[in-house]
Structure 1
Amino acid sequence: MAYTVLIVDDEEGIRQSLGDILEDEGYEVLSTEDAAHAMRIIEADNPDLVFLDIWLPDRDGIELLEELRIKRPTLPVVMISGHATIDLAVKATRMGAYDFLEKPLSLERVLLTAQRALERGVLEKEFQALREDISRKWQLVGQSPVVRDLKDQITILGSNTSRVLITGESGTGKELVARLIHYNGPRASNPFIEVNCAAIPQELIESELFGHEKGSFTGAYERKKGKFELADNGTLFLDEVGDMSLQTQAKVLRVIETQEFQRVGGSKKIRVDVRIIAATNKELHEEVKKGNFREDLFYRLNVIPLHIPPLRERKEDIPLLVDYFLEEFSQEYKKTRKRLTEEAMQVLINYDWPGNVRELKNVIERLVIMTRHDTVTEKDIFLYNIGKKDYFSYKTLKEAREAFERDFILAKLRENNWNISRTAEVLNIERSNLHRKIKNYGLS
């Protein structure tokens, strides 16, 4: 497919000669002498590249460039002029012009600039499409007051680079919120690197975070960059930060304070510029009291605290979430979009969703795949044991084990009318141990 190039210049000779050069190279050429007509052509024909003169009869070319950068940010614009100053050229490039060419125009320079500007335009369009795809994928769905407030906070946090500590139960969407903060900020085009501190063995987490040199330990066959280095100029998301060992916490604290670190087995100091967003499902201030988490690191991470409520506290968002996931999975699996009966939707609303949004998402995915008819009834939903906890919705064995233990203890307490001694005997544990678990799981 031939690229379309628009030439905007008040000199007919320039339009003719420049047009001939570009047409000889296979480009489709459109031309006009004024800014107003140029905007109409751009709206109607969507050219791939614009050669724009500084001086036009009806408008200043710099003003038109400014408008194009707002309305068509991915459209490459090359400025041309026979009376330009260095200051004007610098101003144009700072405003987003791809290049600035002086008249008389050089044939080789025009063709090389056109080729490179079009390549840049393609890359910018691909990047814009990727950002839009990311925006569709990472959405905070809901209109409840708590979600509207959360969206407002994300917008505010996106405009700066302060550290954020996100708290909330498993499955509430802590990673989603972290990504939204990143993608709504000035670092959106730079890396977002995630580290699940609970999923990495303690003996390997320093290598994961800071990298290692070749031969620094058994199995280190080559040098490897760590997550801090990979996240340079971007965002590092420390998920489940409460599961980090005290030794690693001390090293992370030093990096936060100095923005410098050394790879494992290395001596060279590596400097980075990284925004840190941390998340946990633990009460970190309680972990500090127990001596499991460094107080100084807690205060460093907790510059901006952000809490995500569990799904049971925003049940008015469930229909919107169901609709969103139905659409997502219908497209992903190329299935006819299903609808839920009112009774089926009420079953979902009445359920407490201990696995939160992640559990709801898993249920809707299964319904889209496994339900043969287009209308989902409450019978279809009951097939998936809604009302019983979906332990498979948890990310780690630790989370699933804790959830099961909580539910099992609660069931036995109810069976024994909350008689602690009898329940402890049934569970075959000490009364003091049961008291501690009741307190830890908030069952009192």
Structure 2
Amino acid sequence: MGAAGEGGCIAVAYSGGRDSTALLHATAVAAREQAGLRVVALHVHHGLSPNADQWLAHAQSQCEAWAAQGLPVSLVWRRLRLERQQGDSVEALARDARYQALTEMAHEAGADTVLLAHHRRDQAETFLLQALRGAGMAGLSAMPAMADRHGIQWARPWLTHPRRAIEAYVAQHGLSHVEDDSNADPRFARNRVRLTVWPALEAAFEQAEVSLAQSASRAADARACLEIWLEQSLAGLLLPEQDEAMSAPALLVWPLPQQRELLRHWFITRTARHLPASAVARLTSELPALVGTGRSIQWRAGAFDVCLYRGVLTCRPAALAGRLAEGVPTVRLSIQGPGRHELPSWGGALLVSPVAQGGVALSRLAQVEVRGRTGGEDFQLGPKRPSRALRKQFQAQAVPEWERAGPLVYAEGELVFARGLGVDARALAAPGEAQVTLIWVPDLTI
């Protein structure tokens, strides 16, 4: 408990169930020995069960009773409004909303640490579920004992403790707790494992809980080593000047297993999503025959497209392609100085940055239009170079087909900026004139 420091605050995620009740009580008892240390119980009312109000009432009564006994504990709670869309997983939706609520409540309470009551059986079940879903090393690592997210340290102090030890603690102290009726619902995968698979597994393999939890720990060690290798190796494949695109020829130098891991890591760093197994298989089998041919191709990868053009791999939201194909209305902007101008209809933002030379005169950008190609546009790459059709400039600069749809920025009716090409040389500011450069920043969130 010393990490919170004297006069600090530590939070416990408290559902009212057996495990979180035991953890909250043990934390409050330990905190009583440290002057000024407060314990805040964080309760989330999901509204999914008809008993949710009763659970909240129990949590309030329990914390009040312990506070009356001299334990430094108080309760804060939040009611969720889950907006479920067709195809959404109730488990995933509730989990994400719960963590967001816990984060917000912890910040409001002044706690930088939240304790979670997961134990060794939970860890073993998580490993088994992830294996059944075909997870990779990250999934098989199951739950970390410590994690930092959103300015909060999430800790699972009982992750190596057996369930029976928690049951014994509850019995020893006569702690009352609630029973979640949804734990018996077979629609949820974890419940099916817990109610059907686990009893048979433990009957056949007495050490199943210990062994599976140990496998999760070893997977976590292996994952940590893999992450270091991936970060170092991926750095040599990226093309920073092309928005962290990846060189396909450089990727193919690696043996096939490394190619697969590098693709997965690159994709998740760009999109915060996992690259589907089917996309990994197609990419690694088709890339060797495509690289060097000059062909452009796209692979659908869940909600994103992975695109190959002239040996360069990029990714973008699949939904964006449809919007651009339908055409995007003209957007008018007033650029008064450096800053970021969000253009959601174009799937990104226009970043305006000051430069000493090679930019557009800021005075020209007071009224600009952002619009798409209509045909017949030309562009000049450099002051002493001829202007050529925009299509030919795109080809010369290896701008992929899917990036040629725009946006184009016009000032006073003249083209000053094109995505993939930069500032038109005819729009360059005079020496000594206040000027800025324009940079297109795609949005990879959907």
TM-score normalised by the shorter chain: which range applies?
A: under 0.3
More helix by share: 1
TM-score with structure 2 setting the length = 0.23
- Identify the structure with the greater strand proportion: 2
